[in-house]
Amino acid sequence: MIRRIPQARDRGIPDATVARLPLYLRALNGLAERGTPTVSSEDLALAAGVNSAKLRKDLSHLGSYGTRGVGYDVQYLIYQISRELGLTQDWAVAIVGVGNLGRALANYGGFVSRGFRIAGLLDADPRVVGDRIAGLVVEHTDELEAVIKKRGVSIVVIATPATAAQQVCDRVIASGVTSILNFAPVVLAVPDGVDVRKVDLSIELQILAFHEQRKANGGPIMAEEWPDGVVM
Amino acid sequence: MIRRIPQARDRGIPDATVARLPLYLRALNGLAERGTPTVSSEDLALAAGVNSAKLRKDLSHLGSYGTRGVGYDVQYLIYQISRELGLTQDWAVAIVGVGNLGRALANYGGFVSRGFRIAGLLDADPRVVGDRIAGLVVEHTDELEAVIKKRGVSIVVIATPATAAQQVCDRVIASGVTSILNFAPVVLAVPDGVDVRKVDLSIELQILAFHEQRKANGGPIMAEEWPDGVVM
DNA sequence: GTGCCTTTGTGAACCCACGCACAAAGTCGG
DNA sequence: CCGACTTTGTGCGTGGGTTCACAAAGGCAC
Ligand SMILES: NC(=O)c1ccc[n+]([C@@H]2O[C@H](COP(=O)([O-])OP(=O)(O)OC[C@H]3O[C@@H](n4cnc5c(N)ncnc54)[C@H](O)[C@@H]3O)[C@@H](O)[C@H]2O)c1
Ligand SMILES: NC(=O)c1ccc[n+]([C@@H]2O[C@H](COP(=O)([O-])OP(=O)(O)OC[C@H]3O[C@@H](n4cnc5c(N)ncnc54)[C@H](O)[C@@H]3O)[C@@H](O)[C@H]2O)c1
């Protein structure tokens, strides 16, 4: 029988909190490297670039791991957040689409250090298949299902052109994968229970451009910028 | 004297809306390519992967550009959103740090098509300086201020190692840049008025891992996973 | 042991965002 | 010209997230 613990550590951590936990973890790792034994919410919040009340509320969702008057034990908190995020196990990741971006990702060391192991590189282009990148040989997408099953891949990164993304997505989901990181500029259609996170650099630039334009315009709108009644 | 238009198109577009406008724009461009003249909020919302009421509310912040009973004119809406986002002008972008990621970004065609022109590539490594990438010659970071001023760079992409990011950030801000896209896994400290957007792939993977772990655990928590009273 | 000082954990108010649901507005066939 | 139909634009209720502010909790000096 499964007992639920009602009062403390009731799961259902808010999404906003989950998104910040990696930030705290990074800040804590920095402190740990410098040998800091404990840290107050104020200092940790500063390092993570958030409000200290928000930090305390976020951490309170995981449990009561602080000591009043002292702060948080750095090592212990690293362990707790890592466990909560599932970083105590390692995750096999496959990258589909080994072009400009896929290569950069494959060569990046920052993933491995967090428990993410690149377990497969796949591409549809025969000229790319067979290339050795970061110690791995690029395999043909025909092998996609086999690679996922054989190596226990549970997270797939899609770095193919936009036109191929949905098709790749469908195939990896059919193979049982439910976590996808998508770099292609398309909205992927997925069934319930599948998590897709997207990274779109073009969107980020456009958001910057919006604010930049507003700054340049210097506050209020000039009336003549768009005269009344003008259509097209 | 500057007249403000009170009732319609009063600025102060919510951030959440601004973040979705590029999504709508992408969907509209897809429709335009297929020659679709008009689109309903329902159809456009489907293509953009959002709720139709949300889409209509978002668009209503720009003005009343739809026709009841018909929908939105695709070309006209593309123009309005582009103008709102500041994509009718072109933006000079510099990339600092031409390693794995910087190269991928420089070679990526998707930016230019949106009015973002790569106007400079800069690196501190003498072995990289002088390389020709995507038609541009990599320059030394000593030239950073000169390049920004000379070429009218208003958006800077930071793709250096984490240790160098803050220093690069300080220099570009000192040169007058107020829009930064940061790929380095650090929280950049910037003065008011400077916009920083960050892309952290490692964080995205960690969020996926969190949800993946939860799915694997199969719902409620086993009590024995963390016995009462155990501390470390 | 006592009292002071620091810091946590959280109650409560506020603000923003989402999405339902509907009236108003406009189209189109006849 | 009219009535039926389609679709927009938005008022409003709901919920989640952020922040303030403070009581409670623990450490530490003496
Ligand atoms: N490079 C960037 O900086 C950047 C920035 C933003 C977005 N993106 C997006 O990321 C994606 C990849 O970009 P890129 O610059 O690496 O493109 P790229 O063309 O260099 O690489 C794409 C790779 O995918 C492979 N591919 C094509 N169809 C495939 C399929 N069905 N299955 C498996 N592999 C397939 C190609 O052979 C190629 O090697 C694109 O969707 C792009 O829009 C890239
Ligand atoms: N490659 C990826 O997929 C990836 C993923 C996530 C995050 N990142 C982050 O993006 C950044 C770049 O990653 P990368 O893989 O391209 O690293 P990289 O080491 O391949 O490239 C970094 C480049 O920056 C240059 N550089 C160093 N100091 C500099 C300075 N002060 N001024 C200008 N240039 C300087 C180096 O000479 C090098 O060419 C890193 O912070 C990394 O953590 C990369």
Which value, in Å, is the radius of gyration of the alpha carbons in chain B?
23
Nearest residue on chain B to A213, alpha-carbon basis: B86
* Same domain? B50 vs B117: no
Same domain, A125 and A39: no
- Kindly state whether residues A21 and A40 are assigned to the same domain: yes
- Does B160 lie in the same domain as B185? yes
pTM for the full predicted model? 0.92
Tell me the chain A residues in contact with residue B26 when contact means C-beta distances shorter than 8 Å.
185
Q: Can you tell me the distance from the alpha carbon of A29 to that of B206, in angstroms, rounded to the nearest whole number?
A: 15
Last residue of a domain, one of B85, B113, B146: B85
Nearest CA in chain A to B224: A3
Nearest nucleotide to A39, CA against C1' atoms: C7
- Same domain for A67 and A170, yes or no, is no
Q: What is the number of structural domains in chain A? A: 2
> Would you give per-residue pLDDT tens digits along chain A (232 residues)?
333 333 334 568 999 999 999 999 999 999 999 999 999 999 999 999 999 999 999 999 999 999 999 999 999 999 999 999 999 999 999 999 999 999 999 999 888 878 899 999 999 999 999 999 999 999 999 999 999 999 999 999 999 999 999 999 999 999 999 999 999 999 999 999 999 999 999 999 999 999 999 998 765 444 333 333 333 3
- Return residues with beta carbons within 7 A of strand C: A 40-42, 52-53, 56-57, 59-60, 64-72; B 14-17, 50-51, 53-54, 56-57, 67-70
Listed residues A66, A85, A104: the one ending a domain: A85
Quick check: B3 and A100 CB within 8 A? no
Q: What is the CATH number of the domain that holds B21?
A: 1.10.10.10
Nucleotide nearest to A63 (CA to C1'): C9
Distance CA A164, CA A99 (A): 13
CB-based contact A181 B203, cutoff 8 Å: no
Mutate to test the pocket of ligand 2, among B100, B133, B201 (most ligand atoms within 8 A of CB): B100
Q: Is residue B213 part of a domain?
A: no
Counted residue by residue, chain B has a size of: 232
Cβ contacts from A onto B, under 8 A? 199
Q: Are A122 and A159 found together in one domain?
A: yes
Same-domain status, A107 and A177: yes
Nearest ligand 2 atom to the CA of B99 is 21
Answer whether B213 contacts ligand 2 (Cβ < 6 A).
no
Q: Judge if A76 and A115 occupy the same domain.
A: no
Answer whether B115 contacts ligand 2 (Cβ < 6 A).
Answer: no
Domain interval for residue B138: 91-203
CATH classification of the domain holding B128? 3.40.50.720
